Amino acid sequence: MPVETLTYESPQFLQKLIGHDLSGLRIIADTLHVQITSRDGWVRIEAEEPAIAAVKEVFGQLERIRRQGGEVTPTMLRLVTESVMTEHDSAPADAIMNLRLQGSSRKPPVLVKTRGQIAYVQAMREHEVVFGIGPAGTGKTYLAMAQGLHLLREKVVQRLVLTRPAVEAGEALGFLPGDLKEKIFPYLRPLYDALYDMLDPDEAERMIERGAIEIAPLAYMRGRTLKNAFIILDEAQNTTTEQMLMFLTRLGEGARCVITGDPSQVDLRRHVRSGLREAVEVLQDVPGVKFVSFLSKDIVRLPVVQRIIEAYDQYRAKS
């Protein structure tokens, strides 16, 4: 059996190539059906010549991502490995790095990690209205936020508007204490969390204070025309049909919007139809509108989250 060894300048660099986790080597070995061993700064590959060439191509693509400043994750590593295995003429590293989103000079760029995410970012670059639909943990809201900050940084738009319906997730929160801002904050907290993950807190606060970033409940959108803005409607499965139409008709000159949602997690009252579900039926063939569907394999949270969602999908399909 042919054997080849790849050697790198340090064990630390090799660790970064495989996502800081030895399970990365298992992903490559299992996907390409080879035997891989590693110690210090080298990797030993035992397989037939075509398989060795594929493994070398995977490590070459990962090295290109790393040397261009990208952070390799296990999910991204799986994407690169599967791309090399199924698309011998493709360059996954180029696809990943060409779609990187730089929201802040102080933070690393946001990179796509799955095929679904690649299609999603490409859609946001090419269409005025994009629907990102799929299970939790696939990066729908996070990537939309990154794209909005990227366009704001490049001065393609003048402001970023983030909104979501104020619907309780199966829990009656009652009369929350505090002023209006404090009452609605719990509903908008996930948007703030994503924002502060991409920007330094002081930078985010400055942009909010001067109006470059606005975070508000969906009800606040009524009657407005949003020009030269990138608008994100999060948790769109919890909009009513009237709210969805109201939101989609807010777009003014130079505006773009992204609507994200998971149809399996509707928190509306019984017999109230989801605006997201209606939009999927009505807008499929409308020019300028693009739907991107995420699968469970696009989940970038802990692997157990993917398994949980798949188990629920199977159970509900049987029921």
Q: Which pLDDT tens digit goes with each residue over 74-112?
A: 888 888 998 888 765 567 888 888 888 887 777 788 899
Q: Which of 208, 189, 204, 20 is nearest to 107 (CA)?
A: 204
The single-letter DSSP state of residue 220 is G
Answer for the pair 136, 295: CB distance below 8 angstroms, yes or no.
Answer: no
pLDDT tens digits along 212-244: 999 888 888 888 999 999 999 999 999 999 999
What's the pLDDT band for 169 if we cut at 50, 70, 90? very low
Q: For 119-317, which CATH superfamily applies?
A: P-loop containing nucleotide triphosphate hydrolases (3.40.50.300)
Does the structure show a pLDDT above 60 at 173?
A: no
Start-end ranges of CATH 3.40.50.300 in the chain? Answer: 119-317
What is the SS3 assignment for 307? helix
Torsion region of 131: left, alpha or beta (phi above 0 gives left; psi -120 to 50 gives alpha) = beta
Start-end ranges of CATH 3.30.1370 in the chain? Answer: 3-88
Answer for the pair 35, 14: CB distance below 8 angstroms, yes or no.
Answer: no
CATH architecture label of 3-88? 2-Layer Sandwich (3.30)
User: How far is 250 from 235, CA to CA, in rounded Å?
Assistant: 18
The amino acid at residue 24 is G
| Helix, strand, coil distribution of the chain in percent, nearest 5 | 50, 15, 35
b/e burial code for range 196-210 (CB count within 10 A of at least 16 → b):
eebbeeebbeebbee
Between 8 and 21, where is the model more confident? Answer: 8
